Structure 1
Amino acid sequence: MSAIADVARLAGVAKATASRALSGRGYVSEETRLKVVAAARAIGYVASPNAASLVTGRTKSVGVIIPFISRWFFSEVLESMEETLLAQGYDMTLYNLPAASPERDSVFEYFLARKRFDGVISVGVALSAGEVDHLHRLGRPLVGIGGPIRGVPTIAIDDVASARLATEHLLSLGHRDILHIGGNQADEMDFKVHSQRLTGFYAAMEEAGCRPEGAFRPCEFTMPGGYRVGLSVFGDPRSRPTAVFAASDEIAMGLIVAARELGIQVPADLSVIGIDGHPYAEMFRLTTLEQHPRLQGQLAVTTLLTELESPTPRNDSDHLTVLPTNLVFRSSTSRPRSHAGA
């Protein structure tokens, strides 16, 4: 098996120089680094992560806790984090974190505590005070995505403001009979995503002086969920709204499919707007608020690696970075028929 001494001999440098060139720790000239890398490739040398860990104290591994894997937002964040970590020479271990349960406790008490990670990223998980304390006692950097976590740098969007902007877009077009189809409050996601988007919707409607009773319908956060609710809501033309703000793009796309089946023209008869920036949104010509989950994943990794290199003193204040969402106007929204000639 090839060793670092063989690489150094072939490159014509000292063993310590070869080690610095391959680990990236310590200065070597670019010319020397390229010679060492070429020598390592020529003899098939692969650095031992265990040996590197003994020298640097790093495992080059990051633990990630997440409530869902198959849902679009979370899969986009995960893919982005994995790409960013791999580019920096890091590995990722994923834990699908259930709700409060013995299984959840074991993730914190056994896996995250006994397995060696350089840091932990929490995606869409509102950690309890005890869980936060437990992770802090491990002495490893922790970064969150989704909402504020005590004493932890976190990244999120403003769900209330985003929902308000989506609703104000419909109001600006002249719609007043607007329905919000969003997550079931009984199935609330961590960081209260469902209720925060409902709050933003109601705030915009109340400011416009047009909050009708029954302006909200609960729905699964999926395309089939939007489709099923769309069939039931849009079937009666006497109670059909002129516009819908959907709490996710997947719900919105399901609503558009239901409307088409019922012979309802979007946007002539019904305007639809969502939140997410789903890759299928363009295919459905869906107007939406993009929240850029891949950017959130990249920023979480960058924040964690920066903390590894330059640790900052921990305190109990929140370090929340709120990323902006942007309105992407497509052809699923327009002025209502009554305003078409105005």
Structure 2
Amino acid sequence: MTGDTQSWRRAAPASPVTLDDVARRAGVSLATASRALGEHPHVAAATRARVREAAEALDYVASPEAARLAGGPTGRVAVLVPHPSRWFFGELIEGLEAALRAADLDLVLFRVGGPEERAAFFDRLPARRKVDAVVVLAVAVDDAEHARLASLGVDVVVAGGRVAPYPSVGIDDHGAGRQAMDHLLHLGHRRIGLIAVDDDARASAWRTALADAGIEPEDELATTVAWGGEGGAEGMARLLGLRTPPTAVFAHDDETALGAIRTLRRAGLRVPEDLSVIGVDDHPLAALTDLTTVAQPVREQGRRAGELVAAALRGDLQEPLAEVLPTRLVLRGTTSPPGAPR
């Protein structure tokens, strides 16, 4: 009796092999393994063969859920965007759409600017699974939302920032901030104000650049405002209200910088003779208004994200990667040494 029991225990089957096991053995994502076994047309032949070999080696039997995930391709990519009307996001979408169109994929836009819109997307899309991939445009994803995205069984790519653990395309925001700050410091400015939109990498660059130059960052010189021109105008008014205003201002972005310049001109101050201003982006209005800025390749970020999606659907994207595109200082007419003559 005892021997029979021990024999039975030795012969007991192991835990069922899952699609996750196959994906790990083949060295691909769960979504790629699902598509490879489901005859998805965008999967590369070599990847499909590798996944099939892994499935055979593990004696994998597809479950109903795996079969659902491996259903036919939709040819659609969901794009999560918080503010589609803003220039930055519009540029990202332009580049993304062009790359997806070249890969025979359609873009489906989901606005997730507010809590209700975000909840609607993350609650409903997993049950429907009407897309082959998801692109997140500069949106932070919390743990619950990450779990929802994982439940889709599709590839996720991020553009305009970085959200772990997904492949992403963006810029070094801290580096861009340092380019702006180092320019002002090289001109001789020591009392430099900050108009921030958030306590982000660009705001951090303001502090570290001052500290590296041996200047103690003063809290009164940093103000946080709502994004855009009106926020920039308000932030500049606060800085002008200081007993000793700054001689230069680093604004989070060009639109915020232009709002700051409006306040300066209404106050009868000259730019850059009385106060220098620099932004980030190289918004089309920056060239028209002669704004000194740090340019970032926004449309290129969208295009590269679209190419990453196409590569992921073919099974050619083996590991998550963070691609960082370069920024560059664009010298125009809103910065000069402090107290420069007209």
TM range (shorter): 0.7 to 0.9
1:24/1:107 Cα in 2 relative to 1: closer, same or farther (>3 Å)? Answer: closer
Q: 1:239 and 1:319 mapped to 2: Cα distance? A: 46
Q: 2:46 aligns to what?
A: none
Q: Is the 8 A contact 1:289 1:326 kept in 2?
A: yes
Q: 2:127 and 2:327 mapped to 1: Cα distance? A: 36
The answer to whether residue 332 in structure 2 is matched with residue 330 in structure 1 is yes
Q: Is the 8 A contact 1:178 1:244 kept in 2?
A: yes
Cα RMSD after superposing both structures: 2.7
2:237 alignment partner AA? L
1:245 CA displacement: 0.5
1:133 CA displacement: 3.5
Q: 1:113 and 1:209 mapped to 2: Cα distance? A: 56
Q: Is the 8 A contact 2:254 2:283 kept in 1?
A: yes
Q: Is the 8 A contact 2:261 2:277 kept in 1?
A: yes
1:99 CA displacement: 5.2
User: SS where residue 134 of structure 2 aligns?
Assistant: strand
1:178/1:144 Cα in 2 relative to 1: closer, same or farther (>3 Å)? Answer: same
- Listed as ranges, the gaps of 5+ residues in structure 1 are 1-22, 26-55, 189-193
Q: 2:279 and 2:300 mapped to 1: Cα distance? A: 19
1:203/1:131 Cα in 2 relative to 1: closer, same or farther (>3 Å)? Answer: same
The answer to whether residue 78 in structure 2 is matched with residue 63 in structure 1 is yes
Q: 2:318 and 2:259 mapped to 1: Cα distance? A: 47
Aligned length: 275
1:215 CA displacement: 1.9
Q: 2:150 aligns to what?
A: 136
The answer to whether residue 165 in structure 2 is matched with residue 151 in structure 1 is yes
> Normalising by structure 1, what TM-score?
0.73
The answer to whether residue 291 in structure 2 is matched with residue 289 in structure 1 is no
Q: 2:246 and 2:318 mapped to 1: Cα distance? A: 53
Indicate which of 273, 279, 293 corresponds to 2:284.
Answer: 279
Q: 1:227 and 1:130 mapped to 2: Cα distance? A: 37
Q: 1:73 aligns to what?
A: 88
1:112 CA displacement: 4.5
Tell me the alpha carbon deviations over residues 50-86 of structure 1, each in whole angstroms, 9 at most, x when there is no partner.
xxxxxx9332211011222222211221222223323
Indicate which of 127, 136, 145 corresponds to 1:122.
Answer: 136
Q: 1:323 and 1:24 mapped to 2: Cα distance? A: 27
- Identical counterparts, % of pairs: 37
Q: Which has the higher contact order (CA 8 A, sep 6+)?
A: 2
User: SS where residue 288 of structure 2 aligns?
Assistant: coil
Greater alpha carbon shift after TM alignment, 152-161 vs 169-178: 152-161
1:150/1:226 Cα in 2 relative to 1: closer, same or farther (>3 Å)? Answer: closer
Q: 1:107 and 1:161 mapped to 2: Cα distance? A: 33
Q: Is the 8 A contact 1:235 1:262 kept in 2?
A: no
1:293/1:208 Cα in 2 relative to 1: closer, same or farther (>3 Å)? Answer: same
Q: 1:299 aligns to what?
A: 304
User: SS where residue 80 of structure 2 aligns?
Assistant: strand
1:159 CA displacement: 1.4
User: SS where residue 280 of structure 1 aligns?
Assistant: helix
The answer to whether residue 231 in structure 2 is matched with residue 229 in structure 1 is no
Q: 1:280 and 1:110 mapped to 2: Cα distance? A: 39
User: SS where residue 95 of structure 2 aligns?
Assistant: helix
1:235 CA displacement: 5.8
- Listed as ranges, the gaps of 5+ residues in structure 2 are 1-40, 44-70
Q: 1:323 and 1:292 mapped to 2: Cα distance? A: 7
Q: Is the 8 A contact 1:63 1:94 kept in 2?
A: yes
1:137/1:232 Cα in 2 relative to 1: closer, same or farther (>3 Å)? Answer: closer
Q: 2:211 and 2:123 mapped to 1: Cα distance? A: 47
Q: 1:160 and 1:113 mapped to 2: Cα distance? A: 38
Q: 2:241 and 2:221 mapped to 1: Cα distance? A: 16
1:273 alignment partner AA? I
> Normalising by structure 2, what TM-score?
0.73
Tell me the alpha carbon deviations over residues 228-286 of structure 1, each in whole angstroms, 9 at most, x when there is no partner.
332343367x5221100011101111111111112211111111000111110011111
Indicate which of 192, 205, 208 corresponds to 2:210.
Answer: 205
User: SS where residue 260 of structure 1 aligns?
Assistant: helix
